[in-house]
Structure 1
Amino acid sequence: MKQNPTDPTNFPAGDRRPTTVAGVFRAAARILAANGLYQGDYLPDPFDREMCIPHFLRPMSIVAAVKRAVTGDPHTESLVANEAISVLALRLGDGPQWGDIASLERHVDNWGDTEGRTTESAVAVLYAAADASEQVAA
């Protein structure tokens, strides 16, 4: 049986993890579409005080989805994830105030935490950022 390449459970696995910024954005968009956007932290109950659901299955912030798309874990950093977060931060709003990765993550998360922000709008922004990244790379 042939697997659907857009199925959110098809990544990250083995060599299928995205290696380009556009690929990261598309993978993160699929994760958010499947799990939902979480506002206020990377994901609900990050210290497992009330939930026993694995972190990668919970709703998550945009930053956590980007990290999960690359590493399989919404808490683990990587150079490709940090690059994607940097590119996305520069696309959102007026841009970040500072250029360090913590400020870039905070800027992306603040955009995602805006009252009324929906999963659909976050997914749309990630797909638009993927398309724009491919045009720049071409």
Structure 2
Amino acid sequence: MATSLQTSSRVLPLHQSPQARPTNVPGVYRAAARLLSQNGLHKGDFVPDFRDREMDVPHYMRPMSIVAALKCVTTGDPHRTSLLSDEAIAVLALRLEVDGEGPLLGGIFDLEAHVDAWGDMESRTTESAVAMLEAAADAEDVAA
């Protein structure tokens, strides 16, 4: 999501407010809910056409999976991770059940796969994903 200003032959990044990105897990959930609300939920991969064969829209502006949204709101890129996005994914995975089961506890990729499996369910809608993220944010606020 970085923007820049070009002056002569030099490109200068525009200032980003320190408040532009969430700083805690509930904030990540709320920001991801807003992002999904705006862009839509994508099933099957982080974003549609991730290799840019048919689309030229920046990845952060495309519909995306829940995991991609959690990463995007912390890093500006749905493919880059951060400690905060990993924490948010781990906490969320432990809250969700897929076919009555919790996540495998092997590592972050297992937790990501579990959250993605929840989001990829046939009946899952953008609205249900947004509602789940907002409820998770509220629950984390109460727990804190």
**TM-score, normalising length: structure 2:** 0.85
Gaps of 5+ in 1: 1-12
Identical-pair percentage:
62
1:47 maps to: 51
For residues 66-111 of structure 1, the C-alpha deviation after alignment (integer angstroms, 9 at most, x for no partner) is: 0001111000000000000001000001320124000000000000
Write the letter of the residue equivalent to 2:127: E
Runs of 4+ more than 6 Å apart: none
More strand as a share of residues: 2
TM-score normalised by structure 1 residue count: 0.88
Pick from 12, 28, 32 the counterpart of residue 28 of structure 1: 32
Query: What is the Cα-based RMSD across aligned positions, in Å?
Result: 0.8
Q: Tell me the CA shift for residue 14 of structure 1.
A: 3.4
Question: What is the total number of aligned residue pairs between the two structures?
Answer: 125
Paired residue for 2:104? 97
Matching of residues 1-138 of structure 1 within 5 Å: 13-15=16-18, 16-93=20-97, 94-137=101-144
Q: Kindly state the Cα deviation for residue 116 of structure 1 after the two structures are TM-superposed.
A: 1.6
Q: Quick check: which one's helix share is greater?
A: 1
Paired letter, 2:63: P
Stretches of structure 2 lacking an aligned partner (at least 5 in a row): 1-15
The structure that has the greater radius of gyration is 2
